[in-house]
Amino acid sequence: MESARGGSQERPISQDDFTAKPESWPALPLEAWQDTYATLHMWTQIVGKVRLAQSPLVNHWWEVPLYISPRGLTTSAIPYQRGIFEVEFDFLRHNLVIQTSEGQDKTIPLAPRSVADFYKEFMAALAELGIEVKIWHMPVEIPNPIAFDRDIQHASYDPEYVTRFWRILLVVDSIFREFRSRFIGKNSPVHFFWGSFDLAVTRFSGRRAPEREGADLITREAYSHEVISAGFWPGGGEIKGPAFYAYAAPEPAGYGQSPVRPAKAFYHSGMKEFFLMYDDIRTSPAPRSALLEFLQSTYEAGANLAKWDRAELERTG
C-alpha cells in the first residue's frame, strides 16, 4: 500500500496568488504528487461512473464529465427516482459531499485511504440516501487497471497539492471559457473528463468525420464529427509534467508541421498532439495571453488545413 507523501515545505497556495504577479502561478511538479494524483484519479472515476450510470446519453458522452465548482469538482445535478442529487469534491475542506433535492446529505472525509475503502464508503453513503446504483468497478483509460473494490495500492492524499491542482483548474477554466466564447459553431462546455483526468474544450466543424480505425463504442461516439480540441493535463508517460495540449481529429495533412505559438510549443508525433508545458506558461511574462495564443494558433492550424468554414463558425465582433 502506498503511503501519503509529505506536504510541501512551500507556503500554502491562496486565491491571491492568481491575481498577483503572473509568475505566482504555482508549481505542480508531477513527481511531488504523483501518488495523490493516481489515487484521486480513481476516486473521480468512481464518482463519474455513478453519474454515467444515472444520466441519459448526450452526444459525445457529454453526460459523463465533472465540472469546476467554487470549492472543487462537481457532478452537477444527477437525476434519480425522487428528484436529483449532486456529488462534489470539496478541495477546500477536503470532503466529498453528496446532496439530494430532498434535503439529505452525506459527507466523506478526503484523506489518505485506499481506493477500495473510498469505494465501499461512497457506495454505502449513496445507499443510505436511498440511491441504489450499480457501476462497472473497473477503471478506464489507464494501464494495468485494478478493480475499485480491490485496489489497496492507491491510498495517498496530499491536501496541499490537491488544492493547488484545483486552483490551477480554476484559472485554466476561465481562460478556456474566454476562448470558447469566440466560437459560434457547435462548441463543448469546458469539461473535466475523469477517464483521462483532464480539463478540455472542443470545437466542431459541423461535418461528420470518417470512422476512426479500430474505434470502440466510446471513441466512435466521441469522434463522430470533426473536432479541434484543447485541454490541460497533469502529465504522465513521455510528458513529464503538467501540460496544455491541442489536437485535430481527424488530423489534416501537415498539421504537425504547422507553426504554432508560443515558440516553446511542440508537436509529439507519437501522440499526434501539440503540447505546451505548464511551467513554460506559468513562468512567462503574461501567462493568460500565452495560453490564449497557444489555443488560437493550434486551432487556426487545424481549421485552415481542414478547410473549416471559419467565417460562419467564428465570432467577428
Could you tell me the pLDDT band of residue 24, with boundaries at 50, 70 and 90?
Answer: low
CA–CA gap between residue 269 and residue 209 (Å, rounded): 21
- In this prediction, residues 181-209 reach a mean pLDDT of 97
Does the pLDDT value for residue 3 go beyond 50? no
Q: In this predicted structure, what is the pLDDT of residue 294?
A: 98
CA–CA gap between residue 197 and residue 12 (Å, rounded): 23
Q: In this predicted structure, what is the pLDDT of residue 317?
A: 72
State the cell numbers at 211. Answer: 470512422
Does the pLDDT value for residue 8 go beyond 80? no
| Contact status, residue 249 vs residue 223, Cβ threshold 8 Å | yes
Taking Cα atoms as reference points, which of 283, 234, 42 lies closest to residue 155? 42
Does the pLDDT value for residue 121 go beyond 90? yes
| Contact status, residue 180 vs residue 292, Cβ threshold 8 Å | no
Could you tell me the pLDDT band of residue 37, with boundaries at 50, 70 and 90?
Answer: very high
- Convert the pLDDT of each residue in 288-312 to its tens digit: 999 999 999 999 999 999 999 999 9
- Convert the pLDDT of each residue in 50-101 to its tens digit: 999 999 888 998 899 999 999 999 999 999 988 999 999 999 999 999 999 9
Is 278 exposed, middle or buried (CB count within 10 Å of its CB: 0-12, 13-18, 19+)?
A: buried
User: What is residue 129's DSSP assignment?
Assistant: T
Which of 3-7, 249-253, 307-311 has the lowest average pLDDT? 3-7
Number of helical (H) and strand (E) elements in the chain, helices listed first: 7, 12
Q: In this predicted structure, what is the pLDDT of residue 49?
A: 98
Sheet order of strands, 198-208 included: 191-193, 198-208, 225-233, 243-249, 273-277, 266-268
Domains of the chain, by residue range, sit at 26-150, 159-313
Q: In this predicted structure, what is the pLDDT of residue 251?
A: 98
Q: In this predicted structure, what is the pLDDT of residue 57?
A: 85
Taking Cα atoms as reference points, which of 257, 191, 195, 256 lies closest to residue 230? 191
Cell 461516439 sits at which residue?
221
Q: Across the strands, what pairs with 88?
A: 74, 97
In the predicted model, what is the mean pLDDT of the chain? 92
Q: In this predicted structure, what is the pLDDT of residue 17?
A: 42
| Secondary structure (3-state) at 65 | coil
Q: In this predicted structure, what is the pLDDT of residue 11?
A: 39
Bond preceding residue 262 cis, omega within 30 of 0 = yes
20 or 314, higher pLDDT: 314
**φ, ψ of residue 83 in degrees (nearest 5):** 155, -130
CA–CA gap between residue 317 and residue 175 (Å, rounded): 18
**φ, ψ of residue 193 in degrees (nearest 5):** -90, 115
- In this prediction, residues 25-54 reach a mean pLDDT of 97
- In this prediction, residues 258-262 reach a mean pLDDT of 98
- In this prediction, residues 161-167 reach a mean pLDDT of 96
**pTM (predicted TM-score):** 0.91
Which of 81-90, 209-218, 245-254, 260-269 has the lowest average pLDDT? 209-218
| Contact status, residue 161 vs residue 150, Cβ threshold 8 Å | no
Q: In this predicted structure, what is the pLDDT of residue 92?
A: 97
